[in-house]
């Protein structure tokens, strides 16, 4: 008798979920990215008990046609890429077609979606099984309600940390997404209280005011720089406004927030000797480049990327920040000479 068999869709989705959906914040990240990809201008996120009890995401984006709803929950099902060529020229945040399938595999999910105000579709899934779909009245956009996260994967549930830690991760994700998308108004509520809110007027400094407070945002300096391949711009704090962690240095490539040790250090290098030991600036760095120069298909969570011409980009970031800070220091000197 044959000993090798292909795993069922349910089981393979659970395995994939292990990579993509590590914790409540992963759900928030994937669903908010979907909302951004759907051209939403308003994304309202509600969580209860740090997302373990409930995560709800409501957007006013393009919605999903009724016939596409069951497909959207299949693994490797996406509207965002079609060919190998597209894979190396990704213009959306999503492209792997794994998030909805993975989330539905490890939780109870209700989606309500409509492509126009009026009639929409409501689908209910649990543990990877599509239980019901029905027509329903809905406004244009999509609402996902995720309950009982990890109910069928007890090991993962145990791995989740305290609610404070998990909530902090959710806030961090939402803030980074908001910084990458100042044109989108985000709200984040936890246990009924507003935790974070951005204006969505398209102005990055105003978005930063929503995240770091008005006075910190106002004191940050706008910088920009470009070479043949990259355009960098953003806001950096003065060397006297610092934090004890590098986590307040945010990097965005074409609107996608990424983690990259070397680029983070390029920002710090831009400050030269102006920072005290163990202190790091607040910084938001927007990097615009041809998608062909960045491979986003490196890691299931898409937070790590592989860059061509990384050294060139590092140099550009450091130099642009260094020059901007140098200008700032000239002002008091110039005044004192009057």
Shortest CB 57 distance to ligand ADP, Å: 7
Contact between 38 and ligand ADP per CB under 6 A: yes
Contact between 59 and ligand ADP per CB under 6 A: yes
Residues 200 and 183: beta-carbon distance below 8 Å = yes
Contact between 99 and ligand ADP per CB under 6 A: yes
Rg of the chain over all Cα atoms, to the nearest angstrom: 22
Tokens representing residue 193 in the block: 């209280």
Work out the angle at residue 89's Cα, subtended by the Cα atoms of residues 84 and 94, and round it to the nearest 5 degrees.
90
Residues 179 and 220: beta-carbon distance below 8 Å = no
Residue 140 exposed, middle or buried by CB count within 10 Å (0-12, 13-18, 19+): middle
Give me the residue whose beta carbon is nearest to Mg ion. 94
Q: Kindly tell me which residue out of 24, 61, 94, 200 binds Mg ion, with binding defined by CB under 5 A.
A: 94
Non-local CB neighbours of 287 within 8 Å, separated by 6+ positions:
230, 231, 232, 251, 252, 253, 254, 263, 313, 317
- Judged by CB under 6 A, which stretch of 28-36, 125-133, 164-172, 270-278 contacts ligand ADP? 28-36
Kindly write out the interface string for residues 100-119 of this chain, putting x where it contacts ligand ADP by CB under 6 A and - elsewhere: xx------------------
Measured CA to CA, the distance from residue 56 to residue 79 in angstroms comes to: 22
Q: Kindly tell me which residue out of 80, 243, 309, 322 binds ligand ADP, with binding defined by CB under 6 A.
A: 80
Contact between 69 and ligand ADP per CB under 6 A: no
Task: Identify what 35 binds: ligand ADP, Mg ion, none; CB under 5 to 8 Å per kind.
Answer: ligand ADP
Tokens representing residue 163 in the block: 């609610």
Contact between 29 and ligand ADP per CB under 6 A: no
Q: Kindly tell me which residue out of 14, 26, 34, 207 binds Mg ion, with binding defined by CB under 5 A.
A: 34
Contact between 64 and ligand ADP per CB under 6 A: yes
Residues 223 and 234: beta-carbon distance below 8 Å = yes
| Residues at the interface with ligand ADP (CB under 6 A) | 30, 34-35, 38, 59, 61-64, 72, 77-80, 94-101, 142
């Amino acid at each position: 008798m044959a000993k090798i068999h292909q795993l069922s869709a349910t089981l393979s989705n659970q395995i994939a979920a292990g990579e993509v959906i590590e914790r409540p914040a992963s759900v928030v990240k994937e669903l908010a990215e979907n909302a951004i990809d759907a051209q939403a201008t308003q994304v309202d996120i509600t969580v209860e008990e740090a997302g373990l009890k409930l995560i709800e995401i409501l957007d006013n984006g393009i919605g999903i046609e009724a016939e596409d709803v069951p497909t959207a929950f299949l693994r490797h099902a996406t509207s965002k890429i079609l060919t190998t060529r597209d894979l190396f020229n990704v213009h959306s945040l999503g492209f792997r077609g794994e998030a909805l399938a993975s989330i539905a595999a490890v939780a109870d999910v209700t989606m309500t979606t409509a492509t126009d105000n009026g009639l929409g579709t409501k689908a209910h899934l649990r543990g990877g099984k599509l239980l019901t779909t029905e027509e329903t009245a809905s406004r244009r956009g999509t609402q996902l309600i995720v309950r009982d996260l990890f109910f069928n994967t007890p090991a993962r549930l145990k791995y989740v940390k305290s609610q404070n830690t998990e909530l902090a991760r959710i806030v961090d994700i939402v803030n980074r997404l908001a910084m990458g998308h100042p044109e989108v108004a985000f709200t984040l509520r936890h246990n009924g209280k507003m935790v974070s809110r951005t204006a969505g007027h398209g102005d990055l400094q105003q978005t930063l005011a929503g995240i770091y407070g008005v006075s910190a945002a106002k004191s940050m300096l706008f910088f920009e720089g470009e070479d043949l391949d990259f355009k960098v711009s953003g806001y950096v704090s003065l060397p006297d406004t610092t934090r004890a962690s590098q986590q307040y240095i945010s990097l965005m490539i074409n609107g996608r927030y990424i983690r990259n040790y070397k680029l983070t250090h390029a920002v710090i290098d831009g400050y030269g000797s102006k920072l005290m030991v163990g202190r790091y600036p607040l910084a938001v760095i927007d990097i615009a480049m041809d998608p062909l120069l960045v491979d986003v298909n490196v890691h299931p969570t898409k937070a790590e990327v592989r860059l061509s011409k990384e050294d060139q980009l590092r140099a550009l970031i450091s130099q642009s920040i260094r020059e901007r800070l140098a200008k700032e220091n000239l002002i008091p000197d110039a005044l004192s000479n009057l």
